[in-house]
Amino acid sequence: MVTLIKNIKKLIQTEDTPRKWVAGKEMANLPAIDNAWLMIEDDRILDFGTMDNCPEPDEASEIDVSGRIVMPTFCDSHTHLVYAGSREIEYGDKIRGLSYEEIAKRGGGILNSTKLLAQTSEDDLYEQALERIHEIIGFGTGAVEIKSGYGLDTENELKMLRVARRLKETTPIHIKTTFLGAHSIPMEYRNDQTKFVDKVINEMIPAVAAEELADYIDVFCDKGFFTVEDTERILMAGMKYGLIGKIHANELDYSGGIQVGVKYNARSVDHLEFVGPEEIKALQGSETMPTVLPGAAFFLNMKLSPVREMMNAGLPLALASDYNPGSSPSGNMKFIMSLGCINYKMTPEEVINATTLNSAYAMGLEEDLGSIAKGKIANLIITKPIPSYEYLPYAYTSHLVEQVMLNGELINLD
């Protein structure tokens, strides 16, 4: 089946030669074509160009999008969107002055979600997560990474990852899964953290691998959570089963998480509030995507990651939502772009690069998604009529996504 999208006001993030990512000063450039057409065959992009050269295929369904911008869907490379219930009670505690770490020390935070998850059936968990998947597709997300990490025992970690697999089988969004058994230390292991790490390595990882439930392996390598040594052991164990690293690093301190991630060739290191010259040096020349989570820093009112320093040092940068019940209860990537612009002083071009091509790389999907290029999967956002692409992060609470196409098919967003 051929589809021709005509009269596109601006087609953005176009590519003639495929790039794996955009780095440093290049992030300020956003390739685009004014007054464009885009042709799709089945689920892939066939070709694109300017309207003065628009093809007239015999049999094609045509979509006229006058006044609208077309761009690749967002790739959200860091979420925890399979979770049970919510944590708005803690939200009140935070407002009254407790820090994220203090709440965690008391057995709240992640462990609250662990308790709820254990009481929730797999079917119920699936229904809750499915609603979030529909929500984020409506926001224009076409690919999402989903972590486990609220199970913290083998049975419940598997439950989370089976739900993620079922979402992959039953929805059109592209899903990558990450095993995050080392997300928090359960209360009963607080006096013997090594024993818990042993359990992750000897029991959980083999069980996850036996069912082929994960693409990546993650560790919360930070102050009060897992050490560099723990992280190193878990990464090595996961890599034996073909799992690639994707590390929670340097959210709460200079944890060494970035260095250990790079050492084991992690796909990404994420959060990155605490980044100095040594961390930047470690990332330079590596294949690891620095990924910042503006939603979590905003919601927890944290120190901001030095993104300008990283980009000035020639690094690429991705942004993701971190959709989760504790530190970022939103998967709205357009709002993430706005936070990137407002709080981190990134330009609209930089945030679009960070939420499309670079975040596709951060989840291993850059060959298929993240830009408008011949042969890539036709995952597209068609905006409402808007004056410019800068208007997207600028109008920070307006819903500007009119249609979403996934795998060449328009999605019913009702």
296 is an interface residue for ligand NIG by CB under 6 A:
yes
Residues 6+ apart with CB under 8 A from 350: 27, 28, 311, 317, 340
Shortest Cβ contact with Zn ion: which residue?
322
331 is an interface residue for ligand NIG by CB under 6 A:
no
The only residue of 324, 353, 359, 371 in contact with ligand NIG, by rule CB under 6 A: 324
State which amino acid sits at residue 312.
N
| C-alpha span between 278 and 306 (Å, rounded) | 13
Instruction: List the single partner that 199 binds among ligand NIG, Zn ion, none, CB under 5 to 8 Å by kind.
Output: none
Q: Which is nearer to Zn ion, 90 or 322 (CB)?
A: 322
CA 152 to chain centre: 22
Counting residues that bind ligand NIG (by CB under 6 A) gives: 13
CA 261 to chain centre: 17
Q: To the nearest whole angstrom, how small is the minimum distance from the Cβ of residue 386 to Zn ion?
A: 31
| C-alpha span between 157 and 213 (Å, rounded) | 10
Q: Which helix (H) or strand (E) holds 303?
A: none
Residues 6+ apart with CB under 8 A from 7: 35, 37, 51, 64, 65, 66
From the list 28-36, 48-56, 133-141, 320-328, the region that binds Zn ion by CB under 5 A is: 320-328
Taking CA 318 as the corner, what is the angle to CA 314 and CA 320, rounded to the nearest 5 degrees? 160
113 is an interface residue for ligand NIG by CB under 6 A:
yes
| C-alpha span between 126 and 371 (Å, rounded) | 30
Q: Which is nearer to ligand NIG, 157 or 251 (CB)?
A: 251
Q: Are 308 and 315 in contact (CB under 8 A)?
A: no
From the list 40-48, 122-130, 168-176, 319-327, the region that binds Zn ion by CB under 5 A is: 319-327
The count of other CB atoms within 10 Å of the CB of residue 326 is 25
The only residue of 316, 326, 370, 408 in contact with ligand NIG, by rule CB under 6 A: 326
The only residue of 145, 157, 230, 251 in contact with ligand NIG, by rule CB under 6 A: 251
Q: To the nearest whole angstrom, how small is the minimum distance from the Cβ of residue 284 to ligand NIG?
A: 24
Let me know if 17 is exposed, middle or buried by CB neighbors in 10 A (0-12, 13-18, 19+): exposed
292 is an interface residue for ligand NIG by CB under 6 A:
no
Site string for ligand NIG, 30-69 (x = CB under 6 A): ----------------------------------------
Counting residues that bind Zn ion (by CB under 5 A) gives: 1
Sites of contact with Zn ion (CB under 5 A): 322
